[in-house]
A and B are shown apart, each in its own frame.
Chain A
Amino acid sequence: MTPLDALALVWDWSFFTENADELLAGMRRTIEASAIGIAGAFVIGLVLGAARAHRVPVVSPVAAIYVEAIRNTPILVQIFMLYFALPQVGIRLDAFTVAWLAVMIWGGAFNTENFRAGFEAVPVRYREAGLALGFGRLSTFVNVTLPIGGRIALPSSINTYISVLKNTSLMYVIAYPEFTTTALQINALTLQTTETFAALAVGYLVIVWTMSAAIRFAESRLALPEEAR
């Protein structure tokens, strides 16, 4: 008997129907935590990225320290810090809060770099043209730098959002019942390991591949006019 025959014998389709509700609930929590994290990472990246690109006093160096501190330490240790260490000083965050907060802090740091690079890629002459037309510094940013630099930053920032979503799987260590944790809990009860991991793989790949397709779509739709072919 080959391993494939053995697999066919133990493969049980009813696993998916019987556990569908729980798996979908886990998936919903993954998407919830990711959505909050992504929204926050977008705002953090936009504001701090703009501050970095325009070298805003005080904000820019503080943002630089934040970015380097987060990017050069593992997110899993950051999660441990938030959930297992902060109670030592009386700060108790529940698992859901840590789930979205950790990925938001992490994604915000990476997104700051994405947006900084995007804004810095906007040719200086565009900004000068905006200023020469009588726009103020803020309206030059909103009307010139943001639409152009934002487009340049879009693909890399969606990549960061994909990582944010994948990183919610790390909430397994704090037992937040997102998709991975839920699936592994079901596995502990049913011992249907093959089906469990098939569900996990398909679930994640569907979301991640959809988001990657969104990058390609955004790249083609939002390409700057001079680059569009």
Chain B
Amino acid sequence: MSIPDWVGPVAEYIFEVGLVNTLKISAMALVGSAVIGIVLGTLLTIRFLPSRALIRLYIEVWRGLPILVTIFMIFFLLPALSQQLRIDDPLIAAALGLTLWGSAQVAEATRGAVQSIPREQHEASAALGFGWLGRHAFVILPQALRRLLPPMVGLLVNIIQNTTIAQVIGAPELLEASERQVERLTFEGQEHAIQIYGAVMVIFFVISFPLTRLAAYLEKRLI
């Protein structure tokens, strides 16, 4: 059994364009979510009401909205509000939308992780002369980040899978790339949608499955 002629160009496009862009969006969203989420989550543990209420609102809004709506907001609503806010690159718009959602998840997880560090750790480091910033940067966060690792791996899986939502604004990630190939072949009178979307599912599974296993393993090891 030989590989049919249509497979080569399809696979090349899906891997070289689709997979590369999926990984690009995922990387941007992961870094953005981690940075913003850890900062907001740490600030959330301070007993200063106005900032807490604002961060709570941020978390509840971006966790509550469907990611599809958030991505559309960034792509359509921002330019409607002001031309300076226009984001032309759908990859960036999608990464921003995923970052809003992801940072809300990370903030919530960080709050839990920071609060799970025993009070004695705060008191001991305060006794050693650390201020709030030094206490968190050198004592609390390094311990909290360890507990944050399993949910972060879980978040990465979710981010990778949710990059497909960028398809709706035409970002050429895996799903959009494969849809273009399905349509091109349909135009040429060939139907291979099941094979192509099936292959996309396999690609996502091959990436996600080891990561979900890793998250489960870390959860057992670190807690």
Contact = CB atoms under 8 A, between A and B. Distances in A.
Interface of A: 3, 6-7, 68-69, 71-78, 80-81, 84-89, 166-167, 169-170, 172-173, 180, 184, 187, 193-194, 197, 200-201, 204-205, 208-209, 212
B77 interface: yes
Contact of A81 (B72, B82, B197, B212): B197
Given A3-B82, A71-B212, A184-B72, A77 B164 contact: yes
Contacts of A89: 194
A72 B205 contact: yes
Contacts of A87: 193
9 contacts: A72-B212, A80-B175, A81-B197, A85-B193, A88-B191, A169-B68, A180-B66, A193-B80, A204-B64
Given A69-B205, A80-B197, A81-B194, A205 B64 contact: yes
A77 B66 contact: no
Nearest to A166: B66
Interface of B: 60-61, 64-69, 72-73, 76-77, 80-82, 157, 161-165, 167-168, 175, 179, 182, 191-194, 196-198, 200-201, 204-205, 208-209, 212
Contacts of A88: 191-194
A75 B67 CA distance: 13
B212 A169 contact: no
B194 A72 contact: no
A172 B168 contact: yes
Contacts of A173: 167-168
A204 B168 contact: no
A74 B66 contact: no
Nearest to A169: B66
Given A77-B201, A85-B193, A197-B73, A170 B208 contact: no
B64 A208 contact: yes
Contacts of A74: 161-164, 175, 204
Contacts of A201: 61, 65, 69, 73
Nearest to B22: A74
Given A85-B193, A86-B194, A187-B76, 9 more contacts: A73-B204, A74-B163, A85-B194, A85-B196, A88-B193, A169-B66, A170-B66, A170-B165, A205-B61
Contacts of B204: 72-74, 77
A209 B60 contact: yes
Contacts of B64: 204-205, 208-209, 212
Given A85-B194, A197-B77, A205-B64, A68 B164 contact: no
